[in-house]
Amino acid sequence: MTSDSKREWRKNTLDPQVHRFPERQDRFKSESGIDQDVLYSADDLEAAGWDYMKDLGFPGEYPYTRGVQANMYRGRVWTMRQYSGYATAEESNRRYKYLLEQGQTGLSIAFDLPTQIGYDSDHPMARGEVGKVGVPISSLRDMDVLLDGIPLDKVSTSMTINATASVLLCFYIAVARRRGIPPASLNGTLQNDILKEYIARGTHIYPPRPSMRLVVDVFKYCAAEVPRWNTISISGYHMREAGATATQELAFTFANAIAYLQAAVDAGLEVDDVAGRISFFFVAHNDLFEEVAKYRAARRMWAKIVRHRFGAKNPRSWMLRFHTQTAGVTLTAQQPDNNLIRTTIQALAAVLGGTQSLHVNSRDEALALPSEEAVQLSLRTQQILAHESGVSDVVDPLGGSYYVETLTSQLEEEASKYIETIDDMGDAVSAIESGYQVREINQAAYLHQQEVEQGQKVVVGINQYTGETPPIEHLLSVDPQSTEKQVRALQQVRRERDNSSVQASLSRLREVASGEECTVPAILECVESYCTLGEICDVLRDVFGEHKDLVAF
């Protein structure tokens, strides 16, 4: 369709005198505010400056717009992970075994807030939060119970943990070693993405720069000792949950990734020794085509960044591998069954976009922790998509779509502008210290909320099509006795351990943290001496200090 014929089509089809929906005749905006047309053709791609048939390439080839594997899901479907953890290590262990029995193919561990910010379960700051949004892990004993009966040399484990990431990794390694499993055979992913905590979540402990040292120490240690482990999962998910647009999700995630990779290179690591073990974590939001285009743009952007900005030579370093989770922020307490439809569409976007791993949120998560029935249904959603829908039969089925390819290029262009702005500030850490990303996300969240409240964005069951629906009958609640049980177990650990060994290992950690050595071996020594999470983090607090958030509007 030529430009002239497209104009004629618009005139004949969208003329307000003949078009049934004249209010929709003009250009519109995507979920993230990018101007969109109602029809796309090859002219739109040519106007963007590229020949899509030539430039698009094939899956498994640089710049990997169409996927990082040539055969994608025809070789193996994505890893199905249901993020889970609550109450106690014992309860969470039962849930993991249940999910594995139902066909889950990888573990995904959620930790409670005290664990995330370095407090033991009996600390005053932990009161009321133990086991509420994840599993409490205060000592090697807890991790041993959590992983009881799970074959660590056969199961891939993802741990969503950041400020205390190196400590939790050491707990995991120590459990494996006690079972005779060498660290080199462990396979999994550590989130370890502290920069987004200053931007979106707030579960940080130390200031950004010493926190970056801890991240790089994990890179160093795993490169030598745990080579199959993904040492960081750089997350756009949480920034999007805080209100970021898809463009900001891409830009701020990659700006953080650039900072991590530069820090590793500055510490003496080779880029190809690090980049190949970096993974990413993106959200699947409501705008199906924008989300598909976002994942395609992400692969292309990362391939260019690593190859051209950092000079990586190994093609594995150029490949963006990512986990996806459906959007928790879109779930509603009103008409909760609608969440089933929302998460199915979001999961479809992730699969059409070529994700390597997927978690589908449960319909009841706006009301409570997901019940066993709800998580089974979420897992079945993935299984039906994989085995009944046909979406895994063709590699990149939307590749070549005029709309998807144009939107992919638009997202890449807009995200690249943000990265240039952050580069001009110095790097992502400097931008964080100035409050830049927080201000941008706050503004986007404000505009979105305005549009919902004014009815410009429809949220079914919230601002349109409202009405009563039957409540969900079975909601999960955490037994209040579980906190007492967790505290008693922790106190027993303290009574039975060798406290002279504890003090010696903590002293060694203080010495290492005060110098320039890699901290991971010293943390592992503490863990194996049964130092608690809080004791280890208190040493690092004394050495590094604590971070106080900026207020950025």
Distance CA 260, CA 412 (A): 21
- Specify the pLDDT at position 15: 56
SS3 357: strand
- Specify the pLDDT at position 24: 47
pLDDT band per the 50, 70, 90 thresholds, residue 21? very low
Residue 499 neighbours by CB distance under 10 Å = 13
Residue keyed to tokens 């063709």: 394
Which spans in 192-287 are helix H?
195-196, 208-225, 237-241, 246-266, 271-274
Q: Is residue 10 predicted with pLDDT exceeding 70?
A: no
- Specify the pLDDT at position 551: 46
Q: Is residue 359 predicted with pLDDT exceeding 50?
A: yes
Distance CA 407, CA 458 (A): 22
pLDDT band per the 50, 70, 90 thresholds, residue 144? very high
Q: Is residue 56 predicted with pLDDT exceeding 90?
A: no
Q: What share of the chain in percent tops pLDDT 70? A: 93
Q: What share of the chain in percent tops pLDDT 90? A: 82
Distance CA 239, CA 251 (A): 11
Distance CA 414, CA 26 (A): 22
Q: Is residue 480 predicted with pLDDT exceeding 60?
A: yes
Residue keyed to tokens 């717009």: 65
Which structure tokens are listed for 432?
A: 């964080």
Quick one: 37 exposed, middle or buried, by C-beta within 10 A (0-12, 13-18, 19+)?
middle
- Specify the pLDDT at position 26: 56
How confident is the model over 439-470, as pLDDT tens digits?
A: 999 999 999 999 999 999 999 999 999 988 78
Residue 160 is classified by DSSP as E
Residue keyed to tokens 């069951």: 461
How confident is the model over 388-439, as pLDDT tens digits?
A: 999 999 999 999 999 999 999 999 999 999 999 999 999 999 999 999 999 9
- Specify the pLDDT at position 11: 63
Distance CA 347, CA 357 (A): 11
- Specify the pLDDT at position 542: 98
* Beta strand ranges found along 302-421 (DSSP E): 322-326, 357-359
- Specify the pLDDT at position 553: 37
- Specify the pLDDT at position 331: 97
492-to-93, 456, 532 alpha-carbon distances in Å: 20, 57, 12
SS3 479: coil
239 in Cβ contact with 151 (< 8 Å) = no
Q: Name which residue leads in pLDDT, 302 or 17.
A: 302
166 in Cβ contact with 512 (< 8 Å) = no
* Beta strand ranges found along 257-356 (DSSP E): 278-284, 322-326
Q: Which of 28-32, 90-94, 254-258, 455-459 has the lowest mean pLDDT?
A: 28-32
Q: Is residue 552 predicted with pLDDT exceeding 80?
A: no
- Specify the pLDDT at position 472: 84
Which spans in 148-193 are helix H?
165-178
- Specify the pLDDT at position 106: 82
pLDDT (mean) for 470-476: 81
Residue 43, Ramachandran bin (φ over 0: left; ψ between -120 and 50: alpha; else beta): alpha
H helix or E strand, kind and range, residue 229: strand 229-230
Average confidence score pLDDT of the chain: 92
For 79-145, the three-class secondary structure string (H helix, E strand, C coil) is: EEECCECCCCHHHHHHHHHHHHHCCCCEEEEEECHHHHCCCCCCCHHHCCCCCCCCECCCCHHHHHH
38 in Cβ contact with 21 (< 8 Å) = no
Q: Is residue 382 predicted with pLDDT exceeding 50?
A: yes
Residue keyed to tokens 């039906």: 384
439-to-208, 432, 433, 443, 446 alpha-carbon distances in Å: 18, 10, 12, 6, 11
Please state whether beta strands 232-235 and 28-29 pair in parallel, antiparallel, or not at all (unpaired): unpaired
Cα–Cα–Cα angle for 543, 438, 197, rounded to 5 degrees: 40
- Specify the pLDDT at position 20: 47
How confident is the model over 177-193, as pLDDT tens digits?
A: 999 999 999 999 999 99
Residue 140 neighbours by CB distance under 10 Å = 24
Note the CATH architecture for domain 70-453: Alpha-Beta Barrel (3.20)
Q: Name which residue leads in pLDDT, 436 or 83.
A: 436
Q: Name which residue leads in pLDDT, 285 or 473.
A: 285
The neighbouring-strand residues paired with 464 are 460
Quick one: 295 exposed, middle or buried, by C-beta within 10 A (0-12, 13-18, 19+)?
buried
Whole-model pTM: value is 0.93
Domain ranges of the chain: 70-453
Q: Which of 328, 360, 296, 292 is nearest to 31 (CA)?
A: 292
Please state whether beta strands 28-29 and 35-36 pair in parallel, antiparallel, or not at all (unpaired): antiparallel
pLDDT band per the 50, 70, 90 thresholds, residue 28? confident
- Specify the pLDDT at position 369: 86
| Helix, strand, coil share (%) of the chain residues, nearest 5 | 55, 10, 40
- Specify the pLDDT at position 541: 98
pLDDT band per the 50, 70, 90 thresholds, residue 18? very low
- Specify the pLDDT at position 43: 77
H helix or E strand, kind and range, residue 233: strand 232-235
Q: Which of 51-65, 238-252, 270-284 has the lowest mean pLDDT?
A: 51-65
Q: Is residue 14 predicted with pLDDT exceeding 70?
A: no
Q: Which of 168-177, 234-243, 382-391, 463-472 has the lowest mean pLDDT?
A: 463-472
